Amino acid sequence: MSRLTGKVVIAQGGGPTAVINQSLVGAVLEARRFPEVTRIWGARHGVRGIVAETFVDLSEATTHNLERVAQTPSSALGSTRDKPDAAYCQRIFQVFRKHDVRYFFYIGGNDSSDTVRIVNEYASREGHELRVIHIPKTIDNDLPVNDHCPGYPSAARFVAGAFGGINADMMALPGVYIGVVMGRHAGWLTAAAALAGRHDDDGPHLIYLPERPFSIERYLADIDRTLQQQGRCVVAISEGVWASRDGKGREIPLAAELMRKAGREPQVDAHGNIQLSGGALADELADVVQKRLGIKRVRADTFGYLQRSFPGVVSSVDAREAREVGEKAVHYACEHHMSGSVVIKRVGDYAAKYELADLNEIAAQTRHMPDAFINAEGNGVTEAFRGYLRPLLGDDLPRLERLWAPMVKLGD
Amino acid sequence: MSRLTGKVVIAQGGGPTAVINQSLVGAVLEARRFPEVTRIWGARHGVRGIVAETFVDLSEATTHNLERVAQTPSSALGSTRDKPDAAYCQRIFQVFRKHDVRYFFYIGGNDSSDTVRIVNEYASREGHELRVIHIPKTIDNDLPVNDHCPGYPSAARFVAGAFGGINADMMALPGVYIGVVMGRHAGWLTAAAALAGRHDDDGPHLIYLPERPFSIERYLADIDRTLQQQGRCVVAISEGVWASRDGKGREIPLAAELMRKAGREPQVDAHGNIQLSGGALADELADVVQKRLGIKRVRADTFGYLQRSFPGVVSSVDAREAREVGEKAVHYACEHHMSGSVVIKRVGDYAAKYELADLNEIAAQTRHMPDAFINAEGNGVTEAFRGYLRPLLGDDLPRLERLWAPMVKLGD
């Protein structure tokens, strides 16, 4: 197959991560090596920038600037939540044809891979030779085929670090702590809290994932038992824990169910949808512990936006792999004349290898935690999960140390 | 004055910090050098461990363990929220007399320094020679006499880092972000958010401190104007912003006022106190922006417990100074036969020097942000504040870099 001359367009979609710019820079620097690449354009704010034709010329970015950007969290090109439909994808394709774009690299999650797939179909149908590569990223770690997704290890490192600090905090001033972690459909990021502990009695003592039904009574019993055994209880819970359904089979957010149990009615908007603020789940989960178990010191935090773009808390493994999937995307497109989605596979314990998967395998699917990673009680993770995550967290993890000094024995 | 032979008791009080164990270890290792110190006891959970006579023998901790503990956040001895009254302080003194304790080091904030002062008075009255030193720590940075307090620079580094990441996040996906930062009475920690920015249009664009009255209308106008100018708005706000008063002059939490404006009545407990959950302020501050300004993408986080014991986000300056105030405490007590509170003074730009202040100067007082550090509009900080904080944040701050690439000019 002959070399295909034309422009590269690269874009970033969906929620930012701490290493998504590594993939951007990996692809840009690698694409510069290919003489058939006439220009490298970055679309501002994902697909939105393509249809609006707002591009920056990455051929003119300095390598120094690019290398610094690679170490900066969040999406340097800007991102978008737009989920293109068929007409939108057709418009993307038209812009590509108009400007002789022959390579399209889209860094994103499930939705982005689906967009890439549809644009590719238009190009084939219209006989415009185009190579499209989806470059994976998501802190949710829920892309199929991949062993794990760039962005997840760094977010996991943040979550594990946060729970390590909170466990130490709760040892100093005991009580109950509930941390609500991102992840609406899959529990990968919440599960990362398990890596906080070194000693048998370190928190988090309980981990609740969206892969298992959540029972308030069970949650209270778990906390009560932990308090009796340890004198404190640290809980990690996924924001995606919305287990209940109303009489019509519709999902009721857990926070709303908790509010009703406490005798308060959640607000409902004009469309009948329950209105819940960002911190409602954490607040209600704390409230029910305080009231039902009579515990005075109950604290709850919603980790929110801190966990996905905190600077300086990056897994070295994640940074390297995010860079490499960007580079590999260019190899697949320019050297191997292929389209598809770059995926990460695991080799031994631990190395990564990269492959190109069919876009149909990736698009619009969600990979949940497998049963082998969740404990039988559904309130924690297994050693298999710890073994899976540990090598991904990277080097130089902060090591929290307990004071080892004997109690003074006082005779009376 | 002759050397005083007897035991050391050391304890940690109040909220944990990232470097409070540096002070503990500084004092313990230094006290080991003095032969008149017969034993070094650590009280478990602050003053509570003294009256309960639960001590660990720090003379038997290994230096390796102590050095690792020094780098671990939170209070390794355990802490307490107990605020001893006169009888409690008398009990502390009786335990000291019983066990021949001659040196008492208490690492803590305002309340701890007051405890130290009262115990000292009992000892003088009873003719028991005792040297007491208060070792400062507080992420709130609100101890008088001190230029700044150990623990604050590291928490400030976390807050500045968090807002740096969030600013990058909001550049990728624009909207309004509100981050609620710890600090009930003084705005020091919230103000640290200002150090997140490098470019003129970097967030946080607005900073609200408890030192200034808070107006909801002003807040909305500020955000509206920022959105028009920048297309996004990042807000840092202190949890201590509770400006309103009801008809009887009682303080009404701002969150409750916001709820009432939105037509919802906050819960009141049996004592008539307004019940507000941890995330209520952030949630209500987001809600009012969404409803009144009609902005769709409004996000709010309460930083909560992450900001005070996150591992690995420590200012090198803070770690060193926290260590040194522990060491200096021992020098003042053992070499100079003095009692008091160790304070940090600033020399030039930048070095620290240590002095011993009278306990009466420190105890139970709060140091607010001076007017020179707050802008005229009351919605931001001054360059003087930035100059004050910058050297405290330590080395190797993550440097967030923007992509510099020219827009592609497309002829039509």
Residues in chain A: 412
Cβ–Cβ under 8 Å, residues A303 and A181: yes
Query: B404: pLDDT confidence band, cut at 50, 70 and 90?
Result: very high
A contact test, residue of B60, B80, B137, B173 with most A CBs within 10 A? B173
* Band (A283; pLDDT cuts 50, 70, 90): confident
For residue A316, with 0-12 CB atoms within 10 Å meaning exposed, 13-18 middle and 19 or more buried, which class applies?
middle
Its pTM stands at 0.95
Query: Rounded distance, CA A194 to CA A214, Å?
Result: 18
Band (pLDDT 50/70/90 cuts) for residue A273 is low
pLDDT at residue number A394: 96
pLDDT value of position B78: 98
Higher pLDDT, B76 or B308: B76
Q: What percent of chain B has pLDDT over 90?
A: 81
Q: Which of A160-169, A243-252, A361-370 has the lowest mean pLDDT?
A: A243-252
> What chain A residue is nearest to B275 in terms of C-alpha separation?
A287
DSSP A255-275: HHHHHHHTT-PPEE-TTSPEE
Q: Which of A88, A83, A82, A81 is nearest to A122 (CA)?
A: A88
- Tell me if B405 and A164 make a contact (CB, 8 A cut-off): no
Tell me the shortest Cα–Cα distance from B127 to chain A, in angstroms.
24
Residue B290's alpha-carbon distances to A306, B54, B293, B295, B298, in angstroms, are 21, 52, 6, 5, 6
Query: Could A278 and B283 be called an inter-chain contact, meaning their C-beta atoms sit closer than 8 Å?
Result: yes
Q: Which of A54, A393, A408 to mutate: most B Cβ within 10 Å?
A: A408
Least confident of A17-21, A52-56, A303-307, A369-373: A303-307
pLDDT exceeds cutoff 60 at B300: yes
Average pLDDT, chain B: 92
Q: Considering only alpha carbons, which residue of chain B is nearest residue A80?
A: B173
Averaged pLDDT for residues B272-300: 84
pLDDT band at residue B183 using 50, 70 and 90 as cut-offs: confident
Among the residues of B149-196, which ranges form H helices? 152-172, 188-191
Cis peptide bond N-terminal to B350, omega within 30: yes
Size of interface A-B (CB pairs under 8 A): 258
Q: Is A369 marked as a binding-site residue?
A: no
Q: C-alpha A324: how far from its chain's center?
A: 18
List, edge to edge, every strand of the sheet that includes B351-357: B55-57, B37-43, B6-12, B101-108, B131-136, B340-347, B351-357
- For the ranges A226-240, A250-264, B393-407, the lowest mean pLDDT is seen at A250-264
Closest CA to A56 of B112, A69, A283: A69
Give the model's confidence band at B408: pLDDT under 50 very low, under 70 low, under 90 confident, else very high: very high
d(CA A28, CA A383) in angstroms, rounded, equals 39
Among B52-61, B250-259, B268-277, the range of highest mean pLDDT: B52-61
What's the mean pLDDT when you consider all of chain A? 92
Q: Is the pLDDT of residue B207 over 60?
A: yes
Active-site positions of B? 140
- pLDDT value at position B3? 86
Q: How confident is the model at residue A250 (pLDDT cuts 50, 70, 90)?
A: low
Task: Give the model's confidence band at A269: pLDDT under 50 very low, under 70 low, under 90 confident, else very high.
Answer: low
- Residues A209 and A219: their CA atoms lie apart, in Å, by 12
Determine the straight-line distance between the first and last CA of chain B, rounded to whole angstroms: 90
Q: How far apart are CA B336 and CA A225, in angstroms?
A: 51
Interacting residues of A100 by C-beta distance below 8 A, sequence separation 6+: A6, A7, A38
- Residue B175's contacts (CB-CB under 8 Å, 6 or more residues apart) are B232, B295, B296, B297, B298, B299
The alpha carbon of residue B328 and the mean position of all alpha carbons in its chain are separated, in whole angstroms, by 21
ipTM score here?
0.94
A172–B79 CB contact, under 8 Å:
yes
Share of chain A above pLDDT 90, in %: 81
For the CA atoms of B357, B363, B366, B370, what is the dihedral angle to 10 degrees?
-20
> Predicted confidence band at A130 (pLDDT cuts at 50, 70, 90)?
very high
- Per-residue pLDDT at B282 exceeds 70: yes
Residue B177 has pLDDT above 70, yes or no: yes
Q: Do A402 and B165 make contact, defined as CB atoms within 8 angstroms?
A: no
pLDDT of residue B185: 84
Phi, psi for residue B267 in degrees, rounded to 5: -70, 145
Chain B residues inside the 8 Å CB shell of A78: 171-173
pLDDT of residue B343: 98
Nearest 10 degrees: Cα torsion B190, B192, B197, B202: 10
Tell me whether residues B15 and A301 touch, CB distance under 8 A.
Answer: no
